[in-house]
Structure 1
């Protein structure tokens, strides 16, 4: 099989028969011959669902009859085939004329058949008027009786001519098989006309009919006629009167189904250069058993499904998981409302925190299953298909797997979904619905090519793409780097240096819905530092920390790694990381001590907080020395200690206040109260402490107001302490 067979819908001949249909066509010919011995004219029906191969069977029957027939010699052919398609005719009149024309054309051209052909030709001339007047075609005629009298008087009447046709055909040794395919395509009115034509006009000697249709569809059409009046029983009774012999298409056997599925799948795999592991083949087999097999029951359905996969997978090849794409394609073609409905629940399905998922965090698996069952009902999933659809969704999305199995598959499982590029991960979800890599994403092929070059110590034009993407969406890129695997010692150092280049260019947003944060880069650095990679760590840290971005990334990464080591009880690792932080931060501040404080990047200066966490006295000595030497005015140092951040309420950087603890561990509150007493006395306390834009004036106002409140709290605490001491002395007296 090739891709043309997947997309094409032409009937299959005996040479291309993969499903042993030839044997069934031979059985049909035996039945047709038997019917001829028992009846002068009869109607046989080949019944089967759309796509089951009826047209292919009919083609094989016609080919076999043609092979046995002898056209222009003295031998008498047993059968002739008239291939008649009533649905191609625009009206009833042309249908009648077309029928008799096909009947006449199928007779041999030799002399002995001339009388039969002449009789049918003469009958065609009268078919239209007779039809109009006889009520076969239901139209009004103002002079019906006069025209009827003209036609039935003398032996030139239509009735006489029809009798000659019957006599001529009865004397013929040839039998005519009129094949009518796709009767279920007709409108209710057209279908009744065909049946009337067969019963009232077309029942001629040695003329047999082989009809083909999907019974369910045909019954629906009949029920819409004035004959049945939506009564299934009346429709079935009428159909049974019309058809004397019914032949039902054989269902696909397991062996033929397996052959068709495997051959179709192999075409897709070959066209798209996809290789499947044993685990992947097992996953496809599971999808087939639980969902696909109930819907892909005919050759056409199987081929068209894989044709859908083949024609659309090329747009995302290697950028999605093939098994997931197969499952989503099935939903798209058989349950399109489910397919589109999934997009409305992206946050929940990918375990991506958002406003829509806040209320679902405490939901039990049972309640979640009930809710999704309701969704499927709303999306029009039939009851008999609900379990299959749910089984597909559970294989694709962790929350639904949790609901179905009654156990939790949380965020820890997401890394596995990401590694296989599954639709259940936020980085890949859109690709399955966008039919490509969205413009705000970066293809995995680009990421992998860049990381391949980095791990091998080579230059690549893909690396700038990776850096650009890192700046725009660091969280996504860091996840992809994680999924890539170990880059090796030199590769780890190289990727950290590249990240250092972009670190300060990454917007440090921490707003409610922001995803552009440096946190992901710091977390990646922490992972490497925690494990002592790259080694030797001290030497590489000096290289990384040479730039401002590398320095900030290293300090924050080391700080995160140190916190993790402390929480997990890894004391030796924590001590190593503490020494590294102390060394590179003290060196940087020592190097900057003669610089104007205004020239030091705020991100660099903020590392003083990390230094103070591990060596507060050293920080106090350094900053007091800078202030007392006049190099860094104390009030400007205080300004730089004000916390900055971002919120969704206001664009840009805003001020987040100044904490007492920050001042205490970097300078000492009493020291600051004494040295800035006048400035604090004159400061206004009518200041919004959080949310003001980050300007020099606002930083100064917030800093002094915070110090004023801190001093006031200190004095109140001292007064209460003094009152308590005095009260205690009074008690002794």
Structure 2
């Protein structure tokens, strides 16, 4: 992709270009082919829809063969040839030339020679029979034909019969017909004569020699035929007949690539039952591996991120929450393969450049991304939208909001949707509804006040009439984890340093996938090295990405805690578990995992539920956790205050050691800098769900301020704050603290306490 994002649509050629994880499948396919050694040929089919990556997988498989010169691969393009004669002739000629070029051994030279002879004999026979059919009436009435046939017939009795027929039918043919027939037979005789000169072997003898030479080969001969679905029905028929009837040789593997439904339909038109016919020819059918949504989205989002990186104006105002709603409800329905991704992002990059503006973005990036999706995949719907600007933006001066108007606008939207291809209509409708909240009064019975409309205008949203035209005039006015990796990690569990290094080097989604999948390997964790495994898991909690859990997901440290707990539960003895965990924590100070372990134990005891540890072990672990965590906090108070899990740590210290967390905070928050750090740590994040999808908001609980530092102390520090000297993050935290304190002073109940 160049700096504008344009990309060609050629299949990939090498494993390092593989964005969709198809390399493993291609390597396995190549290994299966390389290992084939049988008395008969093998026909493999790789089928998939247009754009699914058949040719890319084929190229990756062939790349595997390129490392060993003795693996011969012949790529044959049947769609370059027409007619049975040219197809068979070109096929054997191409195979012969390829072997001659690649295999310099005596056997290789001989194989090339006999394949060429075989092709010529087959071709001569096919052409002769074709000519017989064409000139059948002349054959039955021509002395020339019967004489010619008698010449070809070695049996004396047959020759006599032909001569008699010749004498009895000479008058039946016209002079012109005889002339055409003579020319045909003369040409064919020349070909047969050449074939006879090269070798006097019969077709059966040549086949025998080919079989002998191929059987001696160490590796199979791979013949690849791509784009079979581009052939005409008759060409498809001829190709499959060629494969089925003339290449039933040992150590030959055919790899045929096509879209199955198209080929089946073509064979039906050629007079066969397509599906049944393919079943008779193909021994090993494979489909292109299904493409997971996650992999495709990873490629799409990577390219979108690259576009935003090149467009800092758009990136600076990119609303992630808004994008999430628009993508999940609408855009996600349009991307099924890499071609879709490339088509979309190539032109999107160009239009982003056109609309970037001088100093600030003149359009809303999310709106542009969504409209470009419509322009790419549903152009008729996109083109119709400018015709309905007033209805879509709700900008009519006298626009009524009654049932009649609702019906009219509903009809307009449906007419736009109906212009899209059938498979895209649902996505088109959802995008329109997401981009134009001005229609919510029609579809949701929801209206918005002036401040909301003002925000839309500030954000240059397409739903505002003032900025609508810019989007259409295009001028001023965004793991699968391998089993090998999981196996390696399982084997490395006793080696904390190496295990954590591998985990640390994974990005956040990959870490999540690894930790998710490792749960299924708990029973394979080495129980005889339990102490070492527990140390590793405690340390792993410190190297994974942090963050809080949500309703639908758990944080990475919680995932590690689950691994540690499930592993512990493999030991049925509570005392043994406690001793193992104590020994591990003495060496590996995994505070994040241990906090969750002790928190769960505390909860079980409050609810009188069964516990994972014995009482003595639990108490010892609490004391060790409190002492070590406070020591760590005193070593670098600023770093402890800035830790993303600081508030949780503080509450845990309070719970386990009679308010030790609050005491530490009051002793250490002695400067404005540390109070700001405390304020930033006190900020919580929430998510709301509305018409535009998920939205993030931030807040501070008055209980957090009161429990950990005290209301009066917070108020005293707030009086000394100089906002102009604060970073944006710090300013937001101070504003939220001020808001919480204000509500408390006014006696208002907070929604978050």
Q: TM-score, normalised by structure 2?
A: 0.50
Once the two structures are TM-superposed, the CA of residue 337 in structure 1 deviates from its matched residue by 1.9
1:105 to 77, 89, 97: 97
Instruction: Report the Cα distance in structure 1 between the residues aligned to 2:308 and 2:131, rounded to whole angstroms.
Output: 55
Say which SS state the counterpart of residue 72 (structure 2) adopts: strand
Aligned residue in 2 for 1:19: 20
Q: Does 1:191 align with 2:246?
A: no
Aligned residue in 2 for 1:549: none
Q: Alignment RMSD, CA only? A: 3.5
Q: Does 1:334 align with 2:377?
A: yes
Aligned residue in 2 for 1:129: 124
Q: Does 1:82 align with 2:122?
A: no
Contact 2:227 2:257 in 1 (8 A): yes
Aligned residue in 1 for 2:270: 226
Instruction: Report the Cα distance in structure 2 between the residues aligned to 1:207 and 1:305, rounded to whole angstroms.
Output: 41
Measured at CA, do residues 25 and 365 of structure 1 come closer, stay the same or move farther in structure 2, by a change above 3 Å? farther
Aligned residue in 2 for 1:375: 415
Cα-to-partner distance string for 1:4-56 (whole Å, 9 max, x where unaligned): 8851223321122233322111221233245x245611211112222232222
Aligned residue in 1 for 2:57: 57
Say which SS state the counterpart of residue 354 (structure 2) adopts: coil
Contact 1:44 1:245 in 2 (8 A): yes
Contact 1:252 1:298 in 2 (8 A): yes
Correspondence 1:286-685 to 2 at 5 A: 286-317=325-356, 318-353=361-396, 361-363=401-403, 367=407, 370-372=410-412, 374-376=414-416, 378-382=418-422, 385-409=424-448, 413-437=452-476
Contact 1:291 1:391 in 2 (8 A): yes
Instruction: Report the Cα distance in structure 2 between the residues aligned to 1:218 and 1:401, rounded to whole angstroms.
Output: 47
Contact 2:378 2:424 in 1 (8 A): no
Once the two structures are TM-superposed, the CA of residue 59 in structure 1 deviates from its matched residue by 1.0
Contact 1:6 1:264 in 2 (8 A): no
Measured at CA, do residues 131 and 408 of structure 1 come closer, stay the same or move farther in structure 2, by a change above 3 Å? farther
Correspondence 1:161-200 to 2 at 5 A: 161-200=206-245
Measured at CA, do residues 135 and 243 of structure 1 come closer, stay the same or move farther in structure 2, by a change above 3 Å? farther
Contact 2:417 2:428 in 1 (8 A): no
Say which SS state the counterpart of residue 367 (structure 1) adopts: helix
Once the two structures are TM-superposed, the CA of residue 315 in structure 1 deviates from its matched residue by 2.1
Measured at CA, do residues 94 and 3 of structure 1 come closer, stay the same or move farther in structure 2, by a change above 3 Å? farther
Instruction: Report the Cα distance in structure 2 between the residues aligned to 1:191 and 1:137, rounded to whole angstroms.
Output: 23
Say which SS state the counterpart of residue 468 (structure 2) adopts: coil
Cα-to-partner distance string for 1:603-628 (whole Å, 9 max, x where unaligned): xxxxxxxxxxxxxxxxxxxxxxxxxx
Measured at CA, do residues 327 and 306 of structure 1 come closer, stay the same or move farther in structure 2, by a change above 3 Å? same
Q: Does 1:204 align with 2:249?
A: yes
Once the two structures are TM-superposed, the CA of residue 246 in structure 1 deviates from its matched residue by 1.5
Measured at CA, do residues 276 and 380 of structure 1 come closer, stay the same or move farther in structure 2, by a change above 3 Å? closer
Measured at CA, do residues 210 and 39 of structure 1 come closer, stay the same or move farther in structure 2, by a change above 3 Å? farther
Say which SS state the counterpart of residue 247 (structure 1) adopts: strand
Contact 1:43 1:210 in 2 (8 A): yes
Cα-to-partner distance string for 1:551-571 (whole Å, 9 max, x where unaligned): xxxxxxxxxxxxxxxxxxxxx
Contact 2:394 2:438 in 1 (8 A): yes
Once the two structures are TM-superposed, the CA of residue 138 in structure 1 deviates from its matched residue by 9.6
Say which SS state the counterpart of residue 355 (structure 2) adopts: coil
Aligned residue in 1 for 2:700: none
Cα-to-partner distance string for 1:64-92 (whole Å, 9 max, x where unaligned): 112123xxxxxxx3x31101111233554
1:270 to 309, 312, 326: 309
With CA pairs under 8 Å and 6+ residues apart, which has the higher RCO, 1 or 2? 2
Once the two structures are TM-superposed, the CA of residue 268 in structure 1 deviates from its matched residue by 1.7
Say which SS state the counterpart of residue 436 (structure 1) adopts: coil
Once the two structures are TM-superposed, the CA of residue 377 in structure 1 deviates from its matched residue by 5.9
Cα-to-partner distance string for 1:425-450 (whole Å, 9 max, x where unaligned): 22332322222247xxxxxxxxxxxx
Aligned residue in 2 for 1:562: none
Say which SS state the counterpart of residue 7 (structure 1) adopts: coil
Measured at CA, do residues 401 and 365 of structure 1 come closer, stay the same or move farther in structure 2, by a change above 3 Å? farther
Gaps of 5+ in 2: 140-144, 154-188, 478-753
Measured at CA, do residues 14 and 380 of structure 1 come closer, stay the same or move farther in structure 2, by a change above 3 Å? closer
Instruction: Report the Cα distance in structure 2 between the residues aligned to 1:183 and 1:413, rounded to whole angstroms.
Output: 57
Instruction: Report the Cα distance in structure 2 between the residues aligned to 1:137 and 1:169, rounded to whole angstroms.
Output: 34
Say which SS state the counterpart of residue 125 (structure 1) adopts: helix
**Structure 1, 79-88 or 395-404: larger mean CA deviation:** 395-404
Say which SS state the counterpart of residue 250 (structure 2) adopts: coil
Aligned residue in 1 for 2:718: none
Instruction: Report the Cα distance in structure 1 between the residues aligned to 2:50 and 2:79, rounded to whole angstroms.
Output: 17
Cα-to-partner distance string for 1:465-486 (whole Å, 9 max, x where unaligned): xxxxxxxxxxxxxxxxxxxxxx
Say which SS state the counterpart of residue 467 (structure 2) adopts: coil
Aligned residue in 2 for 1:246: 285
Once the two structures are TM-superposed, the CA of residue 265 in structure 1 deviates from its matched residue by 1.1
Measured at CA, do residues 2 and 138 of structure 1 come closer, stay the same or move farther in structure 2, by a change above 3 Å? farther
Q: Which has the larger radius of gyration?
A: 1
Contact 2:9 2:339 in 1 (8 A): yes
Contact 1:119 1:168 in 2 (8 A): no
Once the two structures are TM-superposed, the CA of residue 139 in structure 1 deviates from its matched residue by 7.0
Once the two structures are TM-superposed, the CA of residue 313 in structure 1 deviates from its matched residue by 2.6
Say which SS state the counterpart of residue 362 (structure 2) adopts: coil
